[in-house]
Amino acid sequence: MESAEAVAKVEEWLRAVHGPDVSAPGGAGLRVNHEKVLRIPEGWSVPYNTIAFLDEGHAEKEIFPPPSVIVREPDGELRQAHPQPGGLSVPVAFPGQEAWREVVDPEYAKAGLGDLGVPPAVVAGWVKVSPDGVQTGEERENPEYKAGPVRRGYPKPENRLETLLSFASVGWLTREQLLIGLLRCEVYVPLDLASGKTERFYFNEERAELRVFSSTRNLPSREHGYWKVDIATLAGYESPPNLVINGGPATFEDVSGAELAETALRFPRRDAHVDVNERCPEADPELEKLAAETAAKMGLPEPVKPPLAAAERARRRGFELTAEECQKTVLGQSWLARLKQPEPPRSRPNDLRANGLAPGYDNEGQIQPRLDTFGKYFDRDRSSSRYGWQRVTGAYVGFALGEALGAAVDRMRLDEIHSTYGPDGVTDLPVAFDLPGRIGPLTQRLLFYTEAVIRSPHREQPENRDAERALGTVARNSLMRWLHTQGAPLDNADGWLVKVPELRVRRTPDDAELNAYHALATISPTARPLSGPDALVAALPAAMTAAGPGSAMSGGVRQAVRDLVSVTHPGEIDVEAATYLTWLFEPALTSEAFSYPVWNISREIFSDQNPHQRGPVWADLKAMVAESVPFFGKHGLPDLRVPELIGDGKGTLSVLGRAFAALSGFENYPEQALLRAVNHSGRSAITGAIAGALLGARTGIPGLPQKWVEQLELRYLVENIATDAFWHFDRHSALHEVDGWAQRYPRW
């Protein structure tokens, strides 16, 4: 289509709307602005305005902002351009006619990519509107619609480039649209700070290939400087390089210099060009000045080094230290150096976190300051674990946070929740156990189950079957220590966890429940097995036993979870559901850069070849997943599930299904996912805990709602024991590397 044909179509529409004399002196006085007709990605942009302004220069007669009609190619559809840059165009309206209004996926609508058009795959459907603009109630779905990457659980993009790459990866953008969009983006190229040059590792002269990154967070961990340049500048080089774009976990794209250069000729960049060299926050020279000033104030013999190593560890786990966190790291390292000074005795700061420190716990359960790593890295970074430290700690803190959200409404009906907390139910951390954010009995048992797997003798005797069979007894002993914190008598309670004063707080209001646990732990002849979703608490500690090479039991995590669960919940449904959840935690806790969402891995766990997945319980588990987990890998609107509609909310399978329903499709909306997990009838606390653990495994602690994490009681203790479990089952186990580990976690 040529520009003249596009102009003719717009002039025809103007006559249809404003009458045949639209440009005549007695008409509407409108005319196409021929001088500003432009070729744009969606087709032709044809602006129009008043004749009085265009021909006579009367600024007071101008229509502002200037309207424009887009003539799409190749179909010639007319669309009204959005008045703001980046806004979406909409089909034009004809007077006296009904119309179908587009319903565009909010993920695309909010992305600010309106200059690329409205691709058909982002239109979820249409609603019919009357000639006067009122919706008639008639709707129509778009069979070509595809759910967006954020809803599918792809990593949430942090900038325009990552948004473009993720949209292209799910088929929302054509290759041309991607290329046009790239020309408006900047990339980061690693830069050696000393020489000011890019290493050959990132630029292959033979292939004219340049490796670039979408953000400083995605830079290789060892790099602390970068060249920031817009892609249009690179495309304008005499020999434009071929780009290998790293857009973060699971998002890569190869783009040739030739196709970029050709696209730039047709759609040149209008924004200012970017071409600067910068330092990452951890390499800011001001940090050396801060370290020197702090050392002088504290009387240290020499200042601490800039936090380059800390930043590298964080980046290896998908995070980046902020400028403030770098400053706190310098302060924290300085304080630790001061506390090691032999004379005179040094007191620690009153506000640990303000000084770059966090509470750690020694072998007596007392707080021992440690460096705050902000949930972004393990400060003893020698791991060869199957799991990521950030995922393990995220899962544990997420579990505690989910229970804290659901504790106040646990076992309440949904209508009771609404009558108590309003039509939206729980929207913030509610008061439970006297204050918001208190950890509950589920989290307490999680900690003691984790202590049990660490204290089990099988880790140090991997070939000894008798050592493996001891886990059940170890679990009973750990339950006794938990019961001791709740008031039950116990002689010679050992280990550090039972000595923490804050854990010696009654969080189980039901004496009957405590008595039942006590009878099972002591193998009383009056003991009656328990049943229900609390069995799922053991899944995460059981998964930890398989973290390192050679650390698992001979029967894998299935053996570990069965030994733990059977102490209190030996019923087949409870044991198999906990086994399934443990198998789910294994891929969720991966050390890889990307952890797949629940809607994906929940189905992959099932295998016809697995002899342990047969029988009616496993058929019920498959049915539960089908009912509670949508599938996003197809065209059409995804059927997001409502937790309240999955079972009764009380049984083990129902609780597991409601946790999946709450989370699936909401992995990138953590606050919403957690609230969905607790606002339903039944067992809100355990549902929230399971959803929180799966969510935290994907996001790490920094990805959980920070306003709630800040209020979570014993957040650092939870992180501490999760770290201990991670380290204990790593190839470089603390069992062999830390003096006093046997005192911290004595046998049995």
Residues 171 and 125 in one domain: no
Range of the domain at 193: 151-279
Residue 375 reports pLDDT greater than 70: yes
Alpha helices by DSSP H, 486-555: 511-521, 539-544
State residue 381's pLDDT score: 75
Residue 409 reports pLDDT greater than 80: yes
Among 642, 468, 429, residue whose Cα is nearest residue 551: 468
- Residues 122, 114 contacting (CB under 8 angstroms): no
User: Is residue 136 classed exposed, middle or buried when 0-12, 13-18 and 19+ CB atoms within 10 A define those classes?
Assistant: exposed
State residue 635's pLDDT score: 86
Residues 563 and 545 in one domain: yes
Q: What is the DSSP letter of 740?
A: T
Alpha helices by DSSP H, 589-737: 598-604, 616-628, 652-663, 670-678, 684-703, 706-709, 715-728, 734-737
Q: What is the pLDDT of residues 532-554, one digit of tens each?
A: 999 999 999 999 999 988 888 99
Three-state secondary-structure class, residue 7: helix
User: Is residue 347 classed exposed, middle or buried when 0-12, 13-18 and 19+ CB atoms within 10 A define those classes?
Assistant: exposed
Q: Which residues neighbour 34 within 8 Å (Cβ) at sequence distance 6 or greater?
A: 7
Rg (CA), the chain: 30
In a domain, 747, yes or no: no
Select from 125, 142, 159 the last residue of a domain.
142
Residue 307 reports pLDDT greater than 90: yes
- Residues 121, 145 contacting (CB under 8 angstroms): yes
Residues 297 and 274 in one domain: no
% of the chain with per-residue pLDDT over 70: 99
Give the 3-state DSSP-derived string for 333-392, with helices as H, strands as E and coil as C: HHHHHHHCCCCCCCCCCCCCHHHCEEEEECCCCCEEEEECCCCCCCCCCCCCCCECHHHH
Determine the Cα–Cα distance for residues 413 and 648; give it in Å rounded to an integer.
Answer: 10
Three-state secondary-structure class, residue 114: helix
- Residues 702, 679 contacting (CB under 8 angstroms): no
Q: What is the DSSP letter of 87?
A: P
- Find the Cα–Cα–Cα–Cα dihedral 261, 267, 268, 273, rounded to 10°: -90
Residues 415 and 458 in one domain: yes
In a domain, 745, yes or no: no
% of the chain with per-residue pLDDT over 90: 84
Select from 119, 142, 165 the last residue of a domain.
142
Residues 364 and 453 in one domain: no
Q: Is 427 left (phi over 0), alpha (psi -120 to 50) or beta?
A: alpha
In a domain, 263, yes or no: yes
Lowest mean pLDDT among 59-63, 264-268, 321-325, 430-434: 59-63
In a domain, 748, yes or no: no
Q: What is the pLDDT of residues 634-673, one digit of tens each?
A: 888 888 999 999 999 999 999 999 999 999 999 999 999 9
CATH number at residue 730: 1.10.4080.10
Number of domains in the chain: 4
Q: Which residues neighbour 320 within 8 Å (Cβ) at sequence distance 6 or greater?
A: 215, 216, 217, 280, 281, 311, 314
Q: What is the pLDDT of residues 142-198, one digit of tens each?
A: 999 999 999 999 999 999 999 999 999 999 999 999 999 999 999 999 998 888 888
Residues 244 and 342 in one domain: no
In a domain, 36, yes or no: yes
Q: What is the mean pLDDT of residues 233-239?
A: 96
Q: What is the mean pLDDT of residues 70-77?
A: 92
Q: What is the pLDDT of residues 560-577, one digit of tens each?
A: 999 999 999 999 999 999
N-terminal to C-terminal alpha carbon distance within the chain: 80
Tokens 């090479």 belong to 549
Residues 60 and 121 in one domain: yes
Would you say the C-alpha torsion 643, 645, 651, 653 has a positive or negative sign?
negative
| E strand or H helix that includes residue 680 | none
State residue 576's pLDDT score: 98
What is the model's pTM?
A: 0.94
Determine the Cα–Cα distance for residues 610 and 55; give it in Å rounded to an integer.
Answer: 79
In a domain, 384, yes or no: no
State residue 463's pLDDT score: 72
In a domain, 514, yes or no: yes
Select from 369, 404, 434 the last residue of a domain.
369
Residues 540 and 568 in one domain: yes
Q: What is the pLDDT of residues 415-442, one digit of tens each?
A: 999 999 999 999 999 999 999 999 999 9
Dump the DSSP string for 412-456.
--HHHHHHHH-TT---S--EETTEET---HHHHHHHHHHHHHHH-
Residues 273 and 289 in one domain: no
Residues 236 and 364 in one domain: no
State residue 249's pLDDT score: 87
State residue 345's pLDDT score: 62
State residue 344's pLDDT score: 63
Three-state secondary-structure class, residue 607: coil
Determine the Cα–Cα distance for residues 61 and 538; give it in Å rounded to an integer.
Answer: 73
- Residues 30, 49 contacting (CB under 8 angstroms): yes
- Residues 643, 658 contacting (CB under 8 angstroms): yes
Q: What is the mean pLDDT of residues 56-71?
A: 90
- Residues 86, 112 contacting (CB under 8 angstroms): yes
pLDDT level of residue 467 (50, 70, 90 thresholds) = confident
Q: What is the mean pLDDT of residues 366-375?
A: 96
In a domain, 743, yes or no: no
Residues 344 and 448 in one domain: no
Residues 299 and 273 in one domain: no
pLDDT level of residue 400 (50, 70, 90 thresholds) = very high
Q: What is the mean pLDDT of residues 88-113?
A: 93
pLDDT level of residue 384 (50, 70, 90 thresholds) = confident
